[in-house]
């Protein structure tokens, strides 16, 4: 038998996970792009918060996606870490929503100033 380190390909697995997550988020965005913004924002940011927030899993020295740690901990009889994981996902979700709203506000204010600049110049007589 060959002795192998369990996480010898750990970085490759993380890159694969992040790549698949990005593809998934692009597909969700593509499907939701015609939805109204008030519906699009919570759905897309909640999926991003669940997929891309990471935590140290109890009993291990490695990090993992919080949503997977939440599900695994929820399925066990000792649910001591469930509130911690849920709180982390909710905090990341609200931070993503605030960041998205801030970017949208800044982009909207810049585009409104550009629109006023494009108006016809006054003719001086």
CA atoms of 68 and 85, how far apart (whole Å): 10
pLDDT in tens, 53-104: 888 777 777 778 888 888 888 888 777 888 888 899 999 999 999 999 999 8
pLDDT band of residue 3 (cuts 50, 70, 90) is low
58 phi, psi to nearest 5 deg: -60, 130
pTM of the model: 0.69
Average pLDDT of span 96-125: 74
What are the structural domain ranges in the chain? 36-109
pLDDT of residue 109: 72
Where does the chain show beta strands of DSSP type E? 54-56, 63-65
C-alpha–C-alpha distance, residues 88 and 29, integer Å: 23
pLDDT value at residue 1 = 47
Say which residue, 123 or 95, is predicted with more confidence.
Answer: 95
What average pLDDT is seen over the chain?
A: 81
Calculate mean pLDDT across residues 98-118. Answer: 76
What pLDDT does residue 97 have?
93
> Between residues 76 and 30, which one has the greater pLDDT?
30
């Amino acid at each position: 038998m060959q002795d192998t380190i369990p996480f010898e390909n750990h970085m490759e697995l993380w890159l694969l996970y992040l790549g698949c997550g990005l593809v998934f988020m692009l597909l969700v965005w593509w499907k939701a792009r015609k939805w109204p913004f008030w519906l699009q924002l919570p759905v897309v940011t909640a999926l991003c918060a669940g997929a891309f927030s990471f935590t140290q899993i109890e009993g291990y020295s490695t990090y993992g996606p919080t949503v997977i740690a939440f599900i695994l901990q929820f399925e066990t009889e000792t649910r001591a870490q469930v509130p911690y994981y849920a709180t982390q996902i909710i905090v990341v979700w609200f931070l993503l929503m605030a960041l998205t709203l801030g970017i949208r506000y800044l982009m909207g204010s810049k585009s409104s100033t550009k629109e006023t600049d494009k108006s016809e110049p006054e003719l001086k007589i």
